[in-house]
């Protein structure tokens, strides 16, 4: 059996995503990105009202980092998951470690820009995490992944049922 995460069927009765989606991962990326952009847009309006351009840029910067962090994982699922579904989970774990360490190093090396408003950076990041994760969970819950092949109908099945 092959993975159903890429939306392709492995055999005529094979495993696959039901519906018209070409890729579960890319669909989740679009859905989650859209929700995150809407959430951070609303947050940025409040930040602009309370702290001006600095608040808006800080919230957007925090959101952009979070979106990049999560998008990398979905892109790995898209490109690796279709060719090596078993190895995708291991690569997710390795990539998560690299992302956490990499983002921390970049933020420590670059330091805090003068225009960054700490509170709005954090609020933008948190709002984006919540919106992204909630939408991703919703997207996964709506995905119809067939885990097993449907049994082949036997010739005597129609006679047994009234």
Q: Which pLDDT does position 37 carry in this prediction?
A: 97
Give 110's pLDDT tier (boundaries 50, 70, 90): confident
Q: What is the pLDDT of residues 57-81, one digit of tens each?
A: 999 999 999 999 999 988 888 888 7
pLDDT exceeds cutoff 60 at 20: no
Q: Which pLDDT does position 89 carry in this prediction?
A: 75
d(CA 129, CA 36) in angstroms, rounded, equals 8
C-beta of residue 102 within 8 angstroms of C-beta of residue 136: no
Q: Which pLDDT does position 159 carry in this prediction?
A: 53
pLDDT exceeds cutoff 50 at 105: yes
Phi-psi region of 111 (alpha: psi -120 to 50; beta: other; left: phi over 0): left
Mean pLDDT in the chain? 81
Q: Which pLDDT does position 77 carry in this prediction?
A: 82
| Sole residue written with tokens 């957007």 | 60
d(CA 99, CA 138) in angstroms, rounded, equals 24
pTM > 0.75: yes or no:
no
Q: Which pLDDT does position 23 carry in this prediction?
A: 77
């Amino acid at each position: 059996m092959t993975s159903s995460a890429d939306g392709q069927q492995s055999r005529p009765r094979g495993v696959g995503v039901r519906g018209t989606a070409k890729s579960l991962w890319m669909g989740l990326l679009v859905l989650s990105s859209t929700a995150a952009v809407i959430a951070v847009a609303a947050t940025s309006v409040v930040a602009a009202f309370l702290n001006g351009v600095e608040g808006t840029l800080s919230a957007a910067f925090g959101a952009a980092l979070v979106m990049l962090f999560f998008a990398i994982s979905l892109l790995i699922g898209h490109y690796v998951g279709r060719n090596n579904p078993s190895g995708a989970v291991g690569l997710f774990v390795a990539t998560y470690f690299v992302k956490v360490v990499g983002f921390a190093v970049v933020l420590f090396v670059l330091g805090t820009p003068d225009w960054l408003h700490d509170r709005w950076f954090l609020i933008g990041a948190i709002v984006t995490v919540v919106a992204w994760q909630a939408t991703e969970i919703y997207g996964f819950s709506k995905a119809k992944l067939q885990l097993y092949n449907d049994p082949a109908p036997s010739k005597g099945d129609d006679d047994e049922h009234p």
